[in-house]
Structure 1
Amino acid sequence: MSHAYVLVEHANGRVLPATGELITAARVFGDVMAVVVGAPGVEAPLAPTLGELGASVVYAATAADADKRVVLPETDALHAVAAQNPAPILIDAGAHGNEIAGRLAARLSSGVLCDVVGVNADRSAQMSIFGDTIEVSASVGGASPIYTLRPGAVEATPQPVTPQVLAFELPAASAKDVTVTSFTPAAKGDRPDLAQAKVVVSGGRGVESAENFASVVEPLADALGGAVGATRDAVDLGYYAPQFQVGQTGVTVSPDLYIGLGISGAIQHISGMQTSKKIVVINNDEDAPFFQIADLGVVGDLHEIVPQLVQEINNRK
């Protein structure tokens, strides 16, 4: 039976959006088996949602201290199922997922492709490289090829099934484990998560100040129910917090709509958002490189245009 494994991303008893994308992408290999890692009982609130998304089997890999350890519990869980029954493995791309993928590849003697934007039934994968300027197809060997999937690259398409739930215990912590002694989660605002948002409004150096981010960029994002992003220049100048930086050294996004305000369009920024479905650029420099990839470009003063745009959007609600 053809199948594939996906590592479930979850928090506070909820399946995170990236998991739906992983399950949808993995469907080209056959049945999708979702691997949930956490404390005993972690799978109970997650299994129904995973079934709705299309996971035919839910493996619950548990340990009492799983939530206090990093990387190795997930690596151990995926290694356990794939070593017994080899198949392709999909993991959410990012620092955490890529480290798990690397460790797992070494254990399974299989190749790994990071930050892919799609996978194929023949086990090849699509990758968007060199700042998303070149599309390539790549393949790796091994009985369990591993892929980390770029968030937002695949649209989640639910395919409801009734999942079979199977539980097993994780190996006990060893001297190799890193233990979390304390954890303070970042304060979560009302806006959607930047990496998963369907609408992203980003500001660059042309926004000119942190105050203008609050009075110009944020109101437009809120009017559209979107997230706020920033360029590296804007972050370095102290206009906005570093965790909202979009680009090669920041967050990669692929929303339905990306609006760039006062952004020139350096390749480092474009590489983190070029796969957006629609790109709108507002800039007073008509020669800004960003206009070259824009679906709609507006040459003008963003400080005059954006407040009028926000007012018009709110009037039409």
Structure 2
Amino acid sequence: MQYRIEVAGASESTTTSRPMTDRQTYLENPLILLMYGLGAGSSRLASTLAILEQRDGKLNTASLGAVTAGKKLGGPIHAFVAGSGSKSGGAAGEAAKVDGLEKVVVVENAAYDHGLAENWAPLLVETIKKGGYSHVIAGHTAFGKSVLPRVAALLDVQPISDVTAIESEDTFVRPIYAGNAILTVQSSDNTKLLTVRQTAFPPAEAGSGAAAVEDGADPNVPSSTEWVSENLAKSDRPDLGSADRVVSGGRGLKSKEEFDRLIPPLADALGAAIGASRAAVDSGFADNSLQVGQTGKNVAPQLYLAAGISGAIQHLAGMKDSKVIAAINKDADAPIFQVADVGLVGDLFEKVPELTEKLKALK
């Protein structure tokens, strides 16, 4: 595995590498490449397994970014779906219509409904070995971040997470240090496991695709982990991860009551999803599912409006790819204004209600 780090603002890049194996050394000699059957004419063809997420038989279209990433690699792309209601007419049927897919592999088993890593890891290992895939790609979501490291451990390979660009079949780009440096990773593993940032790889679209749907192998490995229950907040607002507009509140709102009083009306006036900074979540103002940032969700809406958010580096890492960033903060020196396209310096307890009323008047 080789690494190259490029620091923002630096004129030079730094390269660090692990000791090369004999096989890696061979790659430098074309004659030895031919002797070992690794030349351009006989190299292992790229084949990608895109792991798609589903719920209640309905495909999570945001996970189709894995298919988009697979197209950068060339070679056939197979999708993988598991859980109850996944077969024809369900998530697998939806996936089969996506352009660029050759096959959809599906495992119908309720044990995989909730994305438990302990259940999914042996299932994916079985699927990967059976298909002989060179690349396995999942979204950089809570699911992908939980499952793929376990799969990598079982396969004894190094996972590469939060990939934002694919340079070649073995070279990938990912941000580190909250986006202040860019790491280029070259992998020599036979099977490369990636999670990709969904804002960097838009979902592949359904079109004239007619991929074959076939049953996958289910190892049915016993697990000591049991799904108990979940309590989901229901909302008519857009999903935070895919919304075109996002209104986020920070610790500057001072309390959960003020967060609930100011942020939802403004979001509704804009037709936006609601987000929050880590400070707001840690203070109990908002649910963890609304957290935007390095340890939360990465978003890239057309409009991101931050109210009462100072702009800590961890938060900026999760929203800096937004097309237009607007900020409301009483501190003119707040870091958020360094990345904002539009800034309003003032008391948010006055400015947010005023903005909300003006937006309502425009409807």
1:105 to 152, 156, 167: 152
CA contact (8 A) 2:306 2:327 kept: yes
1:24 to 59, 68, 71: 68
- 2:84 and 2:94 mapped to 1: Cα distance? 18
- 2:286 and 2:235 mapped to 1: Cα distance? 15
Offset of residue 124 of structure 1? 1.8
CA contact (8 A) 1:62 1:169 kept: no
Aligned to 2:173: 126
The equivalences for 1:75-224 within 5 A come to 75-84=121-130, 85-158=132-205, 160=207, 161-174=209-222, 177-224=223-270
Structure 2 SS opposite 1:172: coil
- 1:69 and 1:10 mapped to 2: Cα distance? 9
Choose 266-275 or 34-43, whichever is displaced more: 34-43
Residues 20/123 of structure 1: CA separation in 2 closer, same or farther (3 Å cut): same
RMSD of aligned residue pairs (Cα, Å): 2.4
Consecutive unaligned residues in structure 1, runs of 5 or more: none
- 2:201 and 2:115 mapped to 1: Cα distance? 29
1:311 to 336, 341, 357: 357
- 1:28 and 1:316 mapped to 2: Cα distance? 43
User: Which whole-Å deviations, capped at 9, do the CAs of 1:89-110 have from their partners, x for residues lacking one?
Assistant: 1112234322321222233343
Structure 2 SS opposite 1:114: strand
Choose 240-249 or 145-154, whichever is displaced more: 240-249
User: Which whole-Å deviations, capped at 9, do the CAs of 1:9-38 have from their partners, x for residues lacking one?
Assistant: 110221113222111121112332110112
Residues 159/10 of structure 1: CA separation in 2 closer, same or farther (3 Å cut): closer
- 1:311 and 1:127 mapped to 2: Cα distance? 41
Offset of residue 45 of structure 1? 1.3
Residues 90/269 of structure 1: CA separation in 2 closer, same or farther (3 Å cut): same
Q: How many corresponding residue pairs?
A: 315
Residues 8/310 of structure 1: CA separation in 2 closer, same or farther (3 Å cut): same
Residues 41/21 of structure 1: CA separation in 2 closer, same or farther (3 Å cut): closer
Is 1:260–2:306 an aligned residue pair? yes
Aligned to 1:37: 82
Consecutive unaligned residues in structure 2, runs of 5 or more: 1-44
The amino acid across from 2:246 in the alignment is V
Taking structure 1 as the reference length, the TM-score comes to 0.89
Offset of residue 231 of structure 1? 2.0
- 1:186 and 1:23 mapped to 2: Cα distance? 28
Structure 2 SS opposite 1:306: helix
1:5 to 25, 34, 49: 49
Residues 205/143 of structure 1: CA separation in 2 closer, same or farther (3 Å cut): same
CA contact (8 A) 2:57 2:85 kept: no
Choose 128-137 or 33-42, whichever is displaced more: 33-42
Residues 69/153 of structure 1: CA separation in 2 closer, same or farther (3 Å cut): closer
CA contact (8 A) 2:115 2:143 kept: no
Aligned to 2:344: 298
- 1:240 and 1:47 mapped to 2: Cα distance? 35
Offset of residue 120 of structure 1? 3.5
CA contact (8 A) 1:69 1:178 kept: no
User: Which whole-Å deviations, capped at 9, do the CAs of 1:36-78 have from their partners, x for residues lacking one?
Assistant: 1124754531233213333221001234644378224432333
Identity between Structure 1 and Structure 2 (%):
33
- 1:69 and 1:81 mapped to 2: Cα distance? 16
Choose 286-295 or 26-35, whichever is displaced more: 26-35
- 2:299 and 2:86 mapped to 1: Cα distance? 33
Offset of residue 181 of structure 1? 4.6
Choose 66-75 or 146-155, whichever is displaced more: 66-75
Structure 1 SS opposite 2:123: helix
User: Which whole-Å deviations, capped at 9, do the CAs of 1:272-309 have from their partners, x for residues lacking one?
Assistant: 22222321111121111111111221222223322332
Structure 1 SS opposite 2:94: helix
- 1:298 and 1:38 mapped to 2: Cα distance? 47
Residues 39/244 of structure 1: CA separation in 2 closer, same or farther (3 Å cut): closer
Structure 2 SS opposite 1:122: coil
Choose 302-311 or 278-287, whichever is displaced more: 302-311
Taking structure 2 as the reference length, the TM-score comes to 0.79
Residues 3/169 of structure 1: CA separation in 2 closer, same or farther (3 Å cut): closer
